[in-house]
Structure 1
Amino acid sequence: MSLVETATADGIATFTLNNAPANCYSREMMSELDAAILDARFDPSVHVIVIRGAGEKFFCAGADIAMLQGADPYFKYNFCLHANETLLRLENTPKLVIAAIDGHCVGGGLEVALACDLRVARKGVGKCGLPEVKLGVLPGTGGTQRLVRVVGKSRAIELMAAGEVFPLERALELGVLDHLWEADSHEDFHAKVREWAGQFVPPKAASRAVGLIKRACQTGAEIALADGLALERELQQRLFESEDAREGLAAYNEKRAPQFSGK
């Protein structure tokens, strides 16, 4: 059985974390996720990536604690290093990544979601947070770095130092979630996610431009303004040379809806 099930349709690659009962990740799952990210990166038919959890109870509850308890410090360090590299690869891939959260999203599960570009969740089905301090450790898969960038320094410190786990409604208030939707069922929620994700896929969207907007923001937020502006200019030049830019400009002047190809 695959720990990361992959499926592609209508320009959207869906990665399903599948490790019952809580979709906890191991070295094996991270290796499969890493490979899936690279496959999607190289696949020109993929324009958007959606990451979800199997079942209705958990998006992901983080690392497999039983596995970590039995591992030596050498393994634990390399396990954390590889998880960091995998999530950085996700951030660096010039395709929009959406976390579709239907259930609890805690610990390393929230760290995976924070590495996605957008986070949407089903209302009333779970909680999220980074409670690693209650295990005597810190969030070690990017949580200390990404949460502070989302909610601010003092609030991130408080949430992590208290090990607070909070409802998804609170996550929306904090800005951890971008959208929180009512849905009648697990299937209804994921159908809504796919419909919403479709706005970022050709022919509706210039997905190459969407991907480079992501790259400009993900990298630009970490460097000086002048360097960020230089990056923006270089990415813009790449887009000026694209088929979608020609189509977009022509459609505007011809007063018609553009038909983008993602090229």
Structure 2
Amino acid sequence: MTFANPPVNLIVGETVLRLIEIVETLATDPDIQVVVFDSATPDFFYNHFDLAAAADFPAPEDENAVPAWTSLVLALFKAPYITIAAIRGRTRGGGNELALALDLRYASREKAIFGQPEVGSGLLPGGGGSERLPRAIGRDRALEAILTSDDYDADTAERWGWTTRALPDSELDASSTRSSAGSPPSTAPPSPRPKPRSTGHPCPRTRIWSPPTASSPTPSPSPGSSSARPARRPSSSRPASTSSTAWGSTSAPPTSSSDRPS
């Protein structure tokens, strides 16, 4: 799905109505499995709203109705097909809210720019920017992005979790196509996962040790071993102790009253 509203791809009322119509149609087509969103306008993805044409945006039918833009991003978020953004250029305000509603976001490392500039115009993000952005990058970073209206490059967006991946611009289209075809965007083979060392126990990372009993032979410590523990002295007359004396202590256990000299 390629968007073009040159020169800077502002979102206008007609854009919202047309997107709602397309998304609703695609949701009823069982053959649609993946939809890729991109732009035909150089250096811009979906940009912010055109505030000069705010009167042209569809108004809610009543005060309890969900605004059209919010309804659109919710429909994209719940779409029965995979949605992918190939972001090559600025995506700010409503454009960033649309991108956040998509499943995968691949960004051109050289050209993608992200931001939520509403506060600079005396507004707040109303189409998911104040909900989905904190979930993606954390509350503190989202608060900074919203309050400052700053721009963020693709590398920062990838590091924060704002995008799925930042790629060289020359690889963006191929990576988006691979993902839409069911292949991972990276051409490098995955590194093999090292196998855990077996210890003979069903849980390979758990070592079970039990103290020797009077009926079981005590293994002889290996020569020169510093971790060998002295054998515990069996005593049939002394009851089992529940004290916190460290196992392997060099001090001899207390003798019974019958062994003490008179």
- Establish whether TM, by shorter chain, passes 0.5: yes
| Structure 2 partner of 1:192 | 175
CA 1:34–1:99 in 2, change beyond 3 Å: closer, same or farther?
same
Gaps of 5+ in 2: 184-262
Alpha-carbon distance in structure 2 between the residues aligned to 1:73 and 1:199: 37
Superposed displacement of residue 127, structure 1: 1.3
Superposed displacement of residue 76, structure 1: 8.7
Deviations 1:198-241 (A, max 9, x none): 117xxxxxxxxxxxxxxxxxxxxxxxxxxxxxxxxxxxxxxxxx
| 2:121 is aligned with 1:135 | yes
| Structure 2 partner of 1:213 | none
Alpha-carbon distance in structure 2 between the residues aligned to 1:189 and 1:154: 29
- Matching of residues 206-217 of structure 1 within 5 Å: none
Superposed displacement of residue 172, structure 1: 0.7
Q: 2:86 aligns with which of 100, 103, 126?
A: 100
Q: 1:162 aligns with which of 138, 148, 155?
A: 148
What secondary structure is seen at the aligned counterpart in 2 of 1:24?
Answer: coil
| Structure 1 partner of 2:38 | 52
- Matching of residues 173-252 of structure 1 within 5 Å: 173-184=159-170, 189-199=172-182
Q: 1:82 aligns with which of 68, 71, 84?
A: 68
Preserved contact between residue 17 and residue 54 of structure 1 (Cα < 8 Å): yes
What secondary structure is seen at the aligned counterpart in 2 of 1:60?
Answer: coil
| Structure 1 partner of 2:139 | 153
Q: 2:96 aligns with which of 110, 115, 119?
A: 110
What secondary structure is seen at the aligned counterpart in 1 of 2:85?
Answer: strand
Alpha-carbon distance in structure 2 between the residues aligned to 1:89 and 1:60: 17
Alpha-carbon distance in structure 1 between the residues aligned to 2:172 and 2:56: 40
Alpha-carbon distance in structure 1 between the residues aligned to 2:139 and 2:125: 15
CA 1:76–1:171 in 2, change beyond 3 Å: closer, same or farther?
farther
Preserved contact between residue 46 and residue 91 of structure 2 (Cα < 8 Å): yes
What secondary structure is seen at the aligned counterpart in 2 of 1:159?
Answer: helix
What secondary structure is seen at the aligned counterpart in 1 of 2:135?
Answer: helix
CA 1:73–1:102 in 2, change beyond 3 Å: closer, same or farther?
closer
Alpha-carbon distance in structure 2 between the residues aligned to 1:17 and 1:119: 16
Q: Percent of aligned positions with the same letter in both sequences?
A: 31
Superposed displacement of residue 74, structure 1: 9.2
Alpha-carbon distance in structure 2 between the residues aligned to 1:190 and 1:58: 15
| 2:48 is aligned with 1:62 | yes
Q: Considering only aligned residues, what root-mean-square deviation do their CA atoms show, in Å?
A: 2.5
Larger relative contact order (CA 8 Å, sep ≥ 6): 1
Preserved contact between residue 104 and residue 128 of structure 1 (Cα < 8 Å): yes
Preserved contact between residue 59 and residue 67 of structure 2 (Cα < 8 Å): no
Superposed displacement of residue 165, structure 1: 1.0
Preserved contact between residue 13 and residue 58 of structure 2 (Cα < 8 Å): no
Preserved contact between residue 147 and residue 156 of structure 1 (Cα < 8 Å): yes
Name whichever structure is richer in helix by fraction.
1
Gaps of 5+ in 1: 1-14, 201-263
Preserved contact between residue 60 and residue 104 of structure 1 (Cα < 8 Å): yes
What secondary structure is seen at the aligned counterpart in 1 of 2:38?
Answer: strand
Alpha-carbon distance in structure 1 between the residues aligned to 2:66 and 2:86: 23
